[in-house]
Chain A
Amino acid sequence: MTDATTTGATAREEKLASANSRRARIMGGVLIALALLVLFTLDVAPGESATFRLTTPRDAVQIGDLVVPGGPFNMIAAALLAFLGVRQFLRGGARWTNISLGIGLAILVMAFLVWATAGKSFSLTGMLQATMVRAVPIALGGLAGVLSERVAVVNIAIEGMLLAGAFTGALVGSLLGGWVGMFAAIAVGGCFGLLLAALVVTYRMDQIIAGVVINLFVLGVTSYVSSQVFAEYRHLNNAPTFRSFKIPILGDIPVIGPMLFNQNLFVYGALILVAVSTYYLFHTKNGLRARAVGEHPRAADTLGIDVYKTRYFHVTLAGMVAGFGGAWFTLGSVGRFDENMTNGRGYIGLAAMIFGRWHPVGALSAALVFGFADSIQQKLALLNTPIPSEFLSMAPYIATIIVVAGLIGRSKPPAANGTPYTKE
């Protein structure tokens, strides 16, 4: 009997180990393929070098341009990728798989940039700054997702909440000024969060249907008002925007200074919210309670945590975060609302959440990756590369599918995610 169990356990362990090593093998193969890709398709004409501008002439601290000789750099990149790949393929340590892959992708991106800028010059600082700006709504959307999915409420409605925030920001901002507009956007986002909570917690509607419906409803209302009212009364859709302001000293740091410390309110807000919510979720009593509700509501209930109230509170909070993120579209950038201007950013935020493994910092990092893909796509048009911009803009979505499919380590949602809770 004991013999049988031990054999069973060993067999299971062996199976697990073989699955891990197979994954490592696949990863090794992928890395070797990337090395070949860099070697053969990203080949730079001999003698050409890429110039990255690190400062603009107006900056306080000046540092010289970074000039990278294209050919040698990509040779080295290919060699590094091949080394990582072969190592992964032969040794197959599961512990190193993700790190190798991360390093490999970073090398690939660098090689790509060098190849695209070969013989030209290109402002690295400007691109990083644009990356941060574009990451803001995605990061806030992702954070909203984290907050509600940590209490096991699937939030497809982020898209609608962002759109509602953008709309409210434009409307109220035009009438009463930017600050009031921003707070109104947060409040309206919170209302939709509350609505979602009511539909799924109290009326036990299917969570995905509730989200889809909120998206349809917000899209309908905002499009209706913008074509029925804004078209006629243009002054209602002309909000002031928040200018970027530089934080003294920190903003003068080359390269990362402009990216992190010379931005508008929304960028600072997003960074602060990510920090605060990380602290809240993982280092406070209430955060622990919230996560308990997401993992095992029955146990949480037994311990005296009010599951319904916790879900209501966090989903409303998520709505407020998404409302703030929505205001970025109008008050943080152009000052006017257009029909469906969020254009799927909420769904990308959801992807960022999964990519970031249901962690606020993870969601922010993933949002930065998506923002990078977004901003590099704009630059590529200027650099005149043969890669169609459509394929580059697809890359984040394909990456998300790969992550969801668990090909790069499994991203595990809270255990009770998506299931309604009925108190006994």
Chain B
Amino acid sequence: MTDKRPDLKDVNERMRGLLARTTHGRDDFEDLVIVPVFAVIVALIFGALIMLATAVDLPTIGRSFVALAVGSVGSLSAWSETLTASIPLVLAGLGLGLGFRAGLFNIGAEGQLLMGGLAAVVAGFSLDFLPMVLHLPLTLLVGALVGALYAAIAGFLKATTGAHEVISTIMLNLISFRLLDWFLRQPFIQREGRSDPISKDVPPSAELPRILDFIDVNLRLHAGIFVMLAAVALVYWMLFRSKIGFAFRASGENPDAANYAGMKAAFIIVLAMGTAGALAGLAGATQVQGVLGRASPGFSAGIGFDAIAVALLGRSHPVGILFAGILFGALEAGGRQMQVDAGVSIDLIGIIQALIIIFIAAPLLVRSIFPWGFRKRRKGGEA
């Protein structure tokens, strides 16, 4: 009992030190607020320039920005669409952010999301004898578990052989696309009477219920939002309040030091990849159980790649990722409105998202474009 207290204090102190080091040389406010805000504004301006360059006239550009705003935050249904789109982005983004903290660059969220979503569909229609109280959480859990296992392959390879996770997760993504196509043609999964690759439906007892349908049945926001919020809280606790989170961050900051401190590097890598995969798998599960209702080829629709952007924009911090995910969800929902109202292709949103990340990831670039708004950097200070 007595020798436990100083130990805890010691851990606390080390964590403080670590936190101080992660923000070392950075000006918190500039880094967390001004840079992202600048990035978004500049990206929107560039978006307008690109529209001009492709012969879209000025009134249409004005109308498309209005549509972007109205379609993302202008009404209750717009908010519903924004939040619906942000659920899988935040979930997968949390996983990727956690990986970044542990020094793992996981590009494989797309594949983990596909595998998790597919597993959730299979669990959905094959366990439909269960009551909803059991069926729904169990289905989500199966999605998370399969996502975790798929990601753990890359973690295991890195831990045992040193295979770089960027390459192995890219390959696992490409494999997952083919694997999904194959699975969707298997008689067990393919919907009866169909020759195209499409799965059976998720039964109602495994569907995430729509939470706003008492106002309007067309509001698509589903109970996955609670899963998302719980995940944000859980990841926050895990990263900053738990021992394993400390191990994640320590091995991300300085693997050698972590190893000397007695942390099992291999175990941490596999666990971090697995947790990231579980969150991506959960994102896939909420998507099929709350929005799509079934699996089809490429149902992930690039969410796994957008989530990389979300994690970067959110600075790998759970709360930051929550806001970044909602911003990207808003761009997604507003983009659809923009396409309908102003006839500007939704692909413009992709450009804007990429530009935001360029400016976020290269703060030196933003500083050199906009020297005002930033205090002079201390000499030798990290960018």
Contact = CB atoms under 8 A, between A and B. Distances in A.
B54 interface: yes
Contacts of A209: 312, 357, 361
B364 interface: yes
A10 to B, nearest CB: 26
A282 B352 CA distance: 42
A228 interface: yes
Contacts of B2: none
B161 A223 contact: no
A394 B344 contact: no
B181 A390 contact: yes
Contacts of A208: 105, 166
A401 B157 contact: yes
Contacts of A197: none
Secondary structure dominating the interface of B: helix
B110 to A, nearest CB: 11
A208 B311 CA distance: 14
Nearest to B55: A229
Interface string B328-360: 000000000000000011011111111101100
B171 A397 contact: yes
B338 to A, nearest CB: 12
Nearest to B178: A390
B354 A225 contact: no
B178 A394 contact: yes
A156 interface: yes
A102 interface: no
A347 B168 CA distance: 11
B24 to A, nearest CB: 16
Nearest to B356: A213
B309 to A, nearest CB: 7
Contact of A213 (B166, B172, B344, B361): B361
A210 B364 CA distance: 13
Nearest to A339: B347
Interface string A339-352: 10000100110110
A216 B344 contact: no
Contacts of A348: 174
Q: In this complex, which of B166, B345, B352, B354 has the most chain A Cβ atoms within 10 angstroms of its Cβ?
A: B354
Contacts of B162: 406
Interface string B4-27: 000000000000000000000000
Contact of B354 (A203, A217, A229, A404): A217
B168 A405 contact: yes
A229 B56 CA distance: 10
B197 to A, nearest CB: 10
Contact of B364 (A204, A217, A406): A204
Q: In this complex, which of A210, A224, A400 has the most chain B Cβ atoms within 10 angstroms of its Cβ?
A: A224
A409 to B, nearest CB: 12
A391 B178 contact: yes
Nearest to A398: B175
Given A388-B182, A401-B171, A205 B361 contact: yes
Contacts of A391: 178, 182
Interface string A86-127: 000000000000000000000000000000000000000000
Nearest to A217: B354
Nearest to A200: B362
Contacts of A351: 167, 170-171
B228 to A, nearest CB: 23
Nearest to A216: B354
Contacts of A406: 161-163
B175 A219 contact: no
Interface in B103-131: 105, 107
Interface in A117-158: 154, 156
Interface residues of B, number: 48
Nearest to B162: A406
B361 A228 contact: no
A407 interface: yes
Contacts of B354: 213, 216-217, 219-220
B362 A203 contact: yes
Nearest to A407: B161
A21 B179 CA distance: 35
B308 interface: yes
Interface string A367-399: 000000000000000000000101101100110
Contacts of A388: 182, 185
B348 A220 contact: yes
Contact of A394 (B105, B157, B167, B179): B179
A392 to B, nearest CB: 9
Interface in B35-58: 50, 54-56
B168 A224 contact: no
Interface string A213-257: 100110111011101110000000000000000000000000000
Interface string B349-383: 11111110110011011001000000000000001
Given A221-B50, A224-B351, A397 B362 contact: no
A228 B345 contact: yes
B168 A223 contact: no
Interface of A: 154, 156, 199, 203-206, 208-210, 212-213, 216-217, 219-221, 223-225, 227-229, 339, 344, 347-348, 350-351, 354, 388, 390-391, 393-394, 397-398, 400-401, 404-407
Given A204-B364, A400-B167, 13 more contacts: A205-B365, A216-B354, A216-B357, A219-B354, A228-B56, A229-B55, A390-B178, A390-B182, A397-B171, A401-B171, A405-B168, A406-B161, A406-B163
18 contacts: A156-B166, A203-B365, A204-B362, A205-B365, A209-B357, A212-B107, A213-B361, A216-B305, A216-B357, A221-B50, A223-B345, A224-B54, A224-B351, A225-B54, A228-B56, A391-B178, A393-B178, A405-B160
